[in-house]
Amino acid sequence: MNYIIFDLEWNQGAPEEAGKVETLPFEIVEIGAVKLNDSREMISEFSELVKPQVYTQMNYITTRLVHLKMSQLENGKPFKEVMEAFLEWCGEDYVFCTWGNLDLLELQRNMVYYGMEPLSDEPIPFYDIQKMFSLAYEDGKSRRALEYAIDMMGIKKDIPFHRAFADAYYTAKVFDMIEEPEVLEKVSFDTYSIPTSREKEVHITFSNYNKYISRGFKQKSDLLKCKDVTGLRCYKCNRPLKRKLQWYTPNGKHYYAVGSCFRHGLMKSKLRIRRNDSLVYGVRTDKFISKEDMKLIIERKEKAEEAKRNKKNILEE
């Protein structure tokens, strides 16, 4: 299997035209990519400029786009033509890799805007190299600029940054230096298309946690009522768990619960509520925790509840 590491440059237009097309907030103006074989050796390159159709002026405020001028894009090809060439170049057996988690979303938005089918009708597995860099070299939560990673790894800067091909090339260099098996297993999912049925939902178990992406629901209350989403089961033995902490939310977006399996111990579930067009879906991660972790979670919950009560009291006074 090959790795397709790609990067996009996109433009949102000058401030006065930004957002004029609601379905296309960011217009792709360049696609750059490198293809790696399964030993992560570079075997092919792709680079094309796209001639803009929507936004006529470059937004120089966005940091993502500083090295292209409108006049250069005059030589670009129409998006559809570039995209078709790109997919042809990708071949058959590959997985996408990007720096961060936005490129597959914006790529598909542009495809649909130009009347093409999105890449898939379900979540697409991909490698988010920015996240993997953080997992391998930092705390797993930080998200660094590509140049930061290049400097930290001592990778030679032999071509200028911030053009699509260069950023794909450097992303490939960072990817090549990640060896940890527990990082390389951490595939991400693009949810431009969410699971359309229970059968198509995403269940994936990594060495230290389990991840689930639900189908879409019309309302958040339906999602929260669904046992597939909020029923607690041990991901190692599939037994229903004894509830140690009922689902609670500090902010209405993230929900937490803890259950206990008599064989595997305490399991914490975190549910994030997401929106996709008119539907609501959930991304849940399950992880085994220690008794000390459990204590911290209860403390945090009590603090959140106290803050809520104080707020209410102030409002009532």
Binding site for Zn ion (CB under 5 A): 234, 236-237, 261, 263-264
Nearer Cβ to Zn ion, position 159 or 237?
237
C-alpha distances (whole Å) from 259 to each of 242, 273, 287, 294, 299 are 5, 20, 10, 10, 17
Q: Measuring CA to CA, which residue among 292, 225, 282 is closest to residue 258?
A: 292
77 or 239: CB nearest Zn ion:
239
CB of 8 or CB of 232, closer to Zn ion? 232
Q: Could you tell me which residues come within 8 angstroms of residue 178 by beta carbon, excluding any fewer than 6 positions away?
A: 129, 132, 133, 136, 184
Is the Cβ of residue 61 or residue 237 nearer to Zn ion in the bound state? 237
Which of residues 140 and 231 has its CB atom nearest to Zn ion in the complex?
Answer: 231
d(CA 26, CA 121): 21
CB of 238 to Zn ion, least distance (A): 7
Least distance in Å: CB of 246 to Zn ion? 20
| Closer residue to Zn ion, CB minimum distance, 227 or 263 | 263
d(CA 267, CA 210): 10
- Alpha carbon dihedral 305, 310, 313, 315, in 10-degree steps, equals -100
Rounded Cα distance, 128 and 189, in Å: 9
Least distance between Zn ion and beta carbon 237 (Å): 3
Give residue number: closest CB to Zn ion.
234
Q: Report the nearest approach of Zn ion to the CB of residue 288 (Å).
A: 9
Expressed in angstroms, the distance from the first to the final Cα of the chain is 64
Q: Which two tokens stand for residue 96?
A: 């996408």
The smaller minimum CB distance to Zn ion, of residues 40 and 239, is found at: 239
For 98, phi and psi rounded to 5 degrees? Answer: -145, 160
CB of 267 to Zn ion, least distance (A): 8
If the CB atoms of residues 90 and 241 are measured against Zn ion, the closer one turns out to be 241
Report, in Å, the least distance between residue 244 CB and Zn ion: 14
Shortest spacing between CB 263 and Zn ion, in angstroms: 5
Distance of closest approach, residue 38 Cβ to Zn ion, in angstroms: 34
- Distances from the Cα of 153 to the Cαs of 34, 106, 136, 146, 242, in angstroms? 20, 28, 12, 11, 45
Tokens of 78: 């129409």
Hey, which residues does 8 pair with through a beta bridge? Answer: 31
